Amino acid sequence: MELRELIANAGDEHELWAKTINPQFVRVLRTIGFDRKWVRGEGAHIYDADGNSYLDLLGGFGMYNVGRNNRNVRAALIEALELDTPGMLAMGVTALPGLLANELLQRTPPRIERCLFTNSGTEANEAAIKLGRAATKRTRVISADHGFHGLTLGSLSANGNGEFTRRFQPLLPDFDQVPFGDLDALEQELRREDVAVFIVEPIQGKGINLPPSGYLPGVQELCRRYGTLFCVDEVMTGFGRTGTMFAFEHWGLEPDLVTVAKSLSGGYVPVGALLMARAVHEAVFDSMPHALSHGSTFAPNELAMVAGLAMLHELDEHDLVVRSARLGEKLLELTRPLADEFDVVKDVRGKGLMWAIEFEGDSRMYRMLDRAQRGLFAQLVVVPLFTEHRILTQVAGHDMAVVRILPPFVLTDDDLADFAGALRDTVKQARRMPSSLTKFALSAAGIR
């Protein structure tokens, strides 16, 4: 097979996707003008077939922390392929998974002593829910409103966003949500002493919601008091995204369960992991007949393990976690003034390189847009940022006027300054809503 030739002769990939994979997604891309022919990625940039460079502030939803096509992760993968290792043994073990598990466990609190690999973030959360229930011999699972933990049935049952759950009822029984940030509501549920797991993102990805101070330590305290396992979903926030290796470090937390994925393989190979207290693991894997109580054929696959080891090495070698913290501070410095400058900017917030800007307005134009689709104003920022400034961002969730970014940590100070300048121009222009945008906005509302 000649790969280059195959790709070169594939024809229009949007047509191909529309025919074979997902025509509605292709419609969305076409409507918002994101249907470029992409040919290359490097660091914090992607390139189209006309040779244009785009600043990628979305990083594949936050999976390219060490940059797209990171040279050292790639080199490790090539070396691994050339080693002709035995691969997956099924009934046998090799060193690579143990090495990566060790590296991960060295970076978590001493309480966390075991690692179970998965193929994705949602699978890591499925494992947390399943093992957490078995270990506590309880059935209930509580999560937070607006929480997002993946889209397979168990994780979806913990999802706090109606637009993802509504059409897939009934979900699993014994799942309930409480407001994010509300300790009293959580205590009301936990005091029944039938809750196996409370699962929460330390900073919510949908909307980029930061917890009130004291909330997460309070959650931990309540979980300990009522015998509930405290699960921190670090799928998006892990590996330096918020300026510390894991977001739970900001509050000195010691959770029982930690789930990771996304950036773990540097964006190359699907992978995830559930990192857990030994007691949880031992309660489930408690005998030889139970030695394979949970797992998956491809987890832990060797390429994912190699990529994971190389990604962690990259983070350390180039101090990328510190870089994420520094650039995050700089980004807030550059963009917070927008809230004073423009009435329509309600808030600018973030931690490390997890950042968002939220809009609100009461002008006629703003209200008309909101009637067509809640939060539509945010699209008037995302689309021109892309089409006019070649900067890739995203609306942070359904029905919200929030734009978020999750860029690779290798972006530069100049990239951030360019973004801040482009954002200012775009917000200024969107407030005036030129007629070309009116047309776009209404058709964008129509695609939902």
Residue numbers at the binding site for ligand PLP (CB under 6 A): 61, 120-122, 125, 148-150, 201, 205, 233, 235-236, 261
Work out how close the CB of 270 gets to ligand PLP at its nearest, in angstroms, rounded to a whole number. 7
Q: Which is nearer to ligand PLP, 125 or 228 (CB)?
A: 125
Asked whether 226 and 195 are in contact (CB, 8 A), the reply is yes
Q: Which is nearer to ligand PLP, 149 or 351 (CB)?
A: 149
Report the amino acid identity of residue 381: V
Pick the closest to residue 299 from 98, 97, 154 (CA basis). 97
Q: Which residues contact 388 (CB under 8 A, 6 or more apart)?
A: 422, 426
Work out how close the CB of 169 gets to ligand PLP at its nearest, in angstroms, rounded to a whole number. 20
Gap between the Cα atoms of 304 and 323, Å rounded: 25
Q: Which is nearer to ligand PLP, 164 or 342 (CB)?
A: 164
Gap between the Cα atoms of 448 and 373, Å rounded: 9
Work out how close the CB of 118 gets to ligand PLP at its nearest, in angstroms, rounded to a whole number. 9
Helices (H), 227-301: 278-284
Q: Which is nearer to ligand PLP, 235 or 299 (CB)?
A: 235
Give the strand pairing for 140-144 and 257-260: unpaired
Pick the closest to residue 204 from 181, 223, 221, 228 (CA basis). 181
SS percent in the chain: helix, strand, coil, step 5: 45, 15, 35
Work out how close the CB of 116 gets to ligand PLP at its nearest, in angstroms, rounded to a whole number. 15
Q: Which is nearer to ligand PLP, 120 or 244 (CB)?
A: 120
Work out how close the CB of 233 gets to ligand PLP at its nearest, in angstroms, rounded to a whole number. 5
Work out how close the CB of 286 gets to ligand PLP at its nearest, in angstroms, rounded to a whole number. 28
Work out how close the CB of 235 gets to ligand PLP at its nearest, in angstroms, rounded to a whole number. 3
Coil/strand/helix, residue 194: coil
Gap between the Cα atoms of 237 and 205, Å rounded: 8
Give the strand pairing for 402-405 and 394-395: antiparallel
Q: Which is nearer to ligand PLP, 59 or 361 (CB)?
A: 59
Q: Is the dihedral of CA 216, 234, 332, 206 positive or negative?
A: negative
Work out how close the CB of 297 gets to ligand PLP at its nearest, in angstroms, rounded to a whole number. 17
Work out how close the CB of 293 gets to ligand PLP at its nearest, in angstroms, rounded to a whole number. 21
Output the residue with the shortest Cβ distance to ligand PLP: 121
Asked whether 114 and 262 are in contact (CB, 8 A), the reply is no
Gap between the Cα atoms of 423 and 332, Å rounded: 13
Work out how close the CB of 262 gets to ligand PLP at its nearest, in angstroms, rounded to a whole number. 6
Asked whether 65 and 260 are in contact (CB, 8 A), the reply is no
Q: Which residues contact 382 (CB under 8 A, 6 or more apart)?
A: 32, 393, 394, 395, 403
Give the strand pairing for 257-260 and 272-277: antiparallel
Q: Which is nearer to ligand PLP, 96 or 231 (CB)?
A: 231
Strands of the 45-48 sheet, one edge to the other: 38-42, 45-48, 53-56, 391-392
In Å, how far from its chain's centre is CA 156? 15
Q: Which is nearer to ligand PLP, 201 or 415 (CB)?
A: 201
Q: Which is nearer to ligand PLP, 151 or 368 (CB)?
A: 151
Asked whether 248 and 234 are in contact (CB, 8 A), the reply is yes
Strands (E), 58-104: none
Q: Can you tell me which residue has the tokens 């927008």? A: 338
Q: Which tokens belong to 186?
A: 């959580």
Q: Which is nearer to ligand PLP, 263 or 335 (CB)?
A: 263
Q: Which is nearer to ligand PLP, 85 or 394 (CB)?
A: 394
Work out how close the CB of 435 gets to ligand PLP at its nearest, in angstroms, rounded to a whole number. 36
Q: Which is nearer to ligand PLP, 122 or 220 (CB)?
A: 122
Q: Which tokens belong to 83?
A: 């080693």
Angle CA 161–162–163, to nearest 5? 95
Work out how close the CB of 155 gets to ligand PLP at its nearest, in angstroms, rounded to a whole number. 7
